[in-house]
């Protein structure tokens, strides 16, 4: 039963990923991308990696794919432009694919423990004692802490850049200036008039 479900979800995920790059409508491509994330989450759930399965649904489907969908719907891309740009980048995609497959073959043909060096963890002894969340957090916050901090800084810089690029101050709109309100003295805030 496990093998049947695994191969079914793997085949449906592969079929959805092919439809992502082959469909002509960009909105349909995003919907097929959501299906890829859902089938990948089902595969992780079958492999009893519960935390990553839920993270796939929450982060990728709930945030990133919806963001892609909003961007694609706002850009209003013409189908002729998509077909023209797709044909132009076919040789580059074949080159990148060959490089990726050769690196994957080199990595899988060599011994994985020698590649990892001191980061190799014998997971068999930890499976009965700890849950998936404890194992992932232990790995992230001990061995990969500099990478985790750098990725957080990259996301912070991206967020600040996006806010600064999209923030426009219109001169016609009245805004509350908190620093002027706090900086006023009592003599400036109270006026006496003779009646």
Average pLDDT, the chain: 79
Q: What is the pLDDT of residue 16?
A: 93
- Is pLDDT above 70 for 137? yes
Rg (CA), the chain: 26
- List the beta strands (DSSP E) in the chain: none
Greatest alpha-carbon span in the chain: 94
Query: Residues 29-50: what's their mean pLDDT?
Result: 89
- Is pLDDT above 80 for 169? no
Rounded CA separation 41/58 (Å): 10
Count other C-beta atoms under 10 Å from residue 27's C-beta: 13
Q: What is the pLDDT of residue 159?
A: 83
Query: Residues 170-187: what's their mean pLDDT?
Result: 77
Reference 38, options 22, 3, 62; nearest CA is: 62
Bigger pLDDT: 138 vs 6: 6
Read off the pLDDT of residues 69-108 as tens digits, 9 standing for 90 and up.
777 777 666 655 555 666 777 888 889 989 989 988 887 7
Angle of the 79-88 helix axis to the 90-109 helix axis, nearest 10:
50
Q: Which fold has domain 1-77?
A: 1.20.120
Q: Where are the domains of the chain?
A: 1-77
Helix-then-strand count for the chain, H and E: 11, 0
Rounded CA separation 77/30 (Å): 13
Query: Residues 39-59: what's their mean pLDDT?
Result: 87
């Amino acid at each position: 039963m496990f093998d049947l479900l695994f191969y079914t979800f793997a085949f449906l995920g592969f079929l959805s990923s092919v439809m992502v790059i082959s469909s002509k409508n960009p909105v349909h491509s995003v919907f097929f991308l959501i299906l890829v994330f859902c089938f990948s989450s089902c595969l992780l759930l079958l492999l009893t990696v519960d935390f990553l399965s839920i993270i796939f649904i929450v982060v990728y489907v709930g945030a990133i794919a919806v963001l892609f969908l909003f961007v694609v719907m706002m850009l209003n891309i013409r189908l002729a432009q998509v077909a023209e740009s797709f044909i132009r980048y076919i040789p580059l995609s074949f080159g990148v694919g060959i490089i990726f497959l050769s690196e994957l073959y080199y990595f899988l043909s060599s011994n994985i423990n020698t590649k990892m060096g001191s980061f190799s963890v014998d997971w068999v002894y930890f499976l009965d004692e700890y849950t998936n969340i404890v194992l992932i957090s232990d790995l992230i916050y001990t061995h990969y802490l500099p990478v985790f901090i750098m990725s957080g800084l990259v996301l912070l810089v991206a967020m600040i850049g996006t806010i600064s690029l999209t923030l426009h101050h219109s001169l016609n709109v009245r805004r509350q200036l908190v620093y002027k309100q706090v900086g006023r003295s009592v003599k400036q805030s109270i006026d006496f008039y003779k009646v």
